[in-house]
Homo-oligomer: A and B are copies of this chain.
Amino acid sequence: MAAELTAHELITKHRPTLDQALEAIRTRAYWSPHPEHPKAYGENGSLDMAAGKAAFDALSGTRLDLGQPGTDGWVGGEVSPYGIELGVEYPHADVDVLLPAMRAGQKAWRDAGAEVRAVVCLEILGRISDRTHEFAHAVMHTSGQAFMMAFQAGGPHAQDRGLEAVAYAYVEQVRTPDTAEWTKPQGKRDPLALTKQFTPVPRGIALLIGCNTFPTWNGYPGLFASLATGNAVLVKPHPRAVLPLALTVQVARQVLTEAGFDPNLVALAAERPGEGIAKTLATRPEIRIIDYTGSTAFGDWLEANARQAQVYTEKAGVNTVLVDSAANYKGMLANLAFSLSLYSGQMCTTPQNLLIPRDGIRTDEGPKTFDEVVADLAHAVDGLLGDDARANALLGAIVNPDVKSRLEAAAGLGEVALASREITNPEFPGAVVRSPVIVKLDGAKPDDEAAYMSECFGPVSFAVAVDSTADGVELLRRTVREKGAMTVGAYTTNEEVEQSVQEVCLEEAAQLSLNLTGGVYVNQTAAFSDFHGSGGNPAANAALCDGAFVANRFRVIEVRREA
């Protein structure tokens, strides 16, 4: 079958973007080819706001038939955190049929080489980008993110992370040349001469285990890193967030087919309620790579049990912000208020513990007591979320009942400095919308330690009184070392404090944001520039994205012969 998309066409179309991505990961300056503004879509084949919404609505009541081998039934039943039923059915796979079928196309995919694989991946990302408005609704109605966040984080930012992974994968594979002539002098005798061929080969089939809250943003790096390095990829979405990854698989299969490759290089493994297929899949001998975002318990299980695979995990952590002093007190409060509120704190990067000296802090507005700082922060959150429309646009919906239970229980852990507020969403009356709770704890009270030394995922923050900044630095160290952290924040005007916080972050391998008071927040990382996680503390064994994230997804095989 002749490919509709030739390698030459794809290289011509996408190589300039790939080159820009390669330059961006080298300089780590700002760059993105994926527009962040909803109105930027609608030209050149992309869906505009109305068309994207219509495409999403049209999915309801349909069966997403991916044409996968071994489909033995249909599963569905996703209910949006906004209360509506998605009404989409997905193929259920007999993996004994599907996995062998996924291997059939691997030789051609391997032989295509790193550049062709990269541009095919870029074409997949391009098609996804064109449907960003449709994906935005799919992400919104599975994760509970508010529309703008679902649009940006689930759309262009996720696509950026996918492209970043493709760029890393490409550059890693071309570090070794395709061929080398090796000539070793032998004094007066003839030199020894060999011709060597080097071929990047995949490890096998990769398994992506998707998460509920960021199905595309957390899923694309692993998916595209594995695919770009020659592996087939089986996508096992979270049962409550199937649609965004199922659409992704659909696009990938379409592009692979058009480019003359086997569509089964990317396949979906949706599951029946309670089926729990992740454990079964993760230990299949065909699965040689696993990417996972989710609970520490299951991440640890994967690392311990999926021994036949390279396992990349992002698990839970306890994120800390140390407040020592502030040069811009209002800016700090506004920045923190936004960080705590965004997506109801349901980000792996949301600060949980705010460590504040019990004797108060110095600020540009004069000294502030511990209670004043906490009250002012509570006030800032209240102000930010005072208007219901704005609150809905920032908070989104509570993703599942467990988060709601934890939020409710948190109020019993200490003195509530800011109560969580129930907010009505007029557009989606079924949505559970809650503002964050801030609870005061005491770092010197052993009884409080169980609370602040555990991850309480959701809109729950603890204002922890510490005896001094130095004590706070040590608690920060202990928290990162024992519990892990995706992010650390600190506010200080003191050079020594800054140095000591930096030193803790360097020694315990945590990513640090210092004195953020403007429009960048500790819980946001930008592809091509910021590392997401460090891969060096218990919160995650990998970072998005670096050489280590891609280098072991393939191996280089050498064939040498006499020249």
Query: Residues of A at under 8 Å CB distance from B?
Result: 25-30, 107, 110, 172, 175-177, 180-186, 192, 194, 196, 198-199, 201, 203, 303-304, 307, 502-503, 505-507, 509-520, 526, 529-531, 534-536, 543, 546-548, 551-552, 555-562
Interfacial chain B residues near A530, Cβ < 8 Å: 196, 558, 560
Are A520 and B555 touching (Cβ within 8 A)? no
Given contacts A29-B180, A547-B551, contact A557 B175 (CB under 8 A): no
Given contacts A29-B183, A547-B547, A561-B514, contact A307 B304 (CB under 8 A): yes
Interfacial chain B residues near A506, Cβ < 8 Å: 110, 199, 201, 557
Q: Closest chain B residue to A288 by CB distance? A: B536
Are B180 and A562 touching (Cβ within 8 A)? no
Q: Closest chain B residue to A168 by CB distance? A: B175
Are B529 and A28 touching (Cβ within 8 A)? no
Q: Smallest CB–CB gap between A317 and chain B, Å?
A: 15
Q: Closest chain B residue to A195 by CB distance? A: B514
Are A559 and B509 touching (Cβ within 8 A)? no
Are A558 and B536 touching (Cβ within 8 A)? no
User: 12 A-B residue contacts at CB 8 Å?
Assistant: A29-B181, A184-B526, A192-B520, A502-B559, A514-B560, A517-B562, A520-B562, A530-B558, A530-B560, A535-B552, A536-B555, A546-B551
| Option from B177, B201, B517 in Cβ contact (under 8 Å) with A27 | B177
How far, in whole Å, are A507 and B288 apart by their CA atoms in the complex?
Answer: 13
Apart from A28-B196, A29-B180: 19 A-B pairs, beta carbons within 8 A:
A26-B177, A27-B177, A30-B184, A186-B519, A192-B520, A196-B530, A505-B559, A506-B557, A509-B555, A510-B557, A511-B558, A512-B560, A514-B560, A520-B562, A530-B558, A531-B556, A543-B555, A548-B548, A551-B552
Are B552 and A201 touching (Cβ within 8 A)? no
Are B29 and A513 touching (Cβ within 8 A)? no
Interfacial chain B residues near A201, Cβ < 8 Å: 506-507, 509, 536
Q: Smallest CB–CB gap between A520 and chain B, Å?
A: 5
How far, in whole Å, are A551 and B545 apart by their CA atoms in the complex?
Answer: 12
Q: Smallest CB–CB gap between A12 and chain B, Å?
A: 27
Interfacial chain B residues near A555, Cβ < 8 Å: 509, 534-536, 543
**Main SS of chain A's interface residues?**
mixed
Interfacial chain B residues near A503, Cβ < 8 Å: 107
Interfacial chain B residues near A172, Cβ < 8 Å: 547
Interfacial chain B residues near A26, Cβ < 8 Å: 175, 177
How far, in whole Å, are A185 and B395 apart by their CA atoms in the complex?
Answer: 25
State the 5 A-B residue pairs at the shortest beta-carbon distance, nearest first: A536-B555, A548-B551, A28-B180, A547-B551, A514-B561
| Most chain B beta carbons < 10 A, residue from A27, A546, A560 | A560
Q: Smallest CB–CB gap between A174 and chain B, Å?
A: 10
Q: Smallest CB–CB gap between A411 and chain B, Å?
A: 34
Q: Closest chain B residue to A328 by CB distance? A: B562
Interfacial chain B residues near A560, Cβ < 8 Å: 512-514, 520, 530
Are B556 and A516 touching (Cβ within 8 A)? no
Q: Closest chain B residue to A520 by CB distance? A: B192
Q: Smallest CB–CB gap between A423 and chain B, Å?
A: 28
How far, in whole Å, are A548 and B542 apart by their CA atoms in the complex?
Answer: 13
How far, in whole Å, are A546 and B25 apart by their CA atoms in the complex?
Answer: 20
Interfacial chain B residues near A557, Cβ < 8 Å: 505-506, 509-512, 534, 536
Interfacial chain B residues near A28, Cβ < 8 Å: 176-177, 180, 182, 196, 198
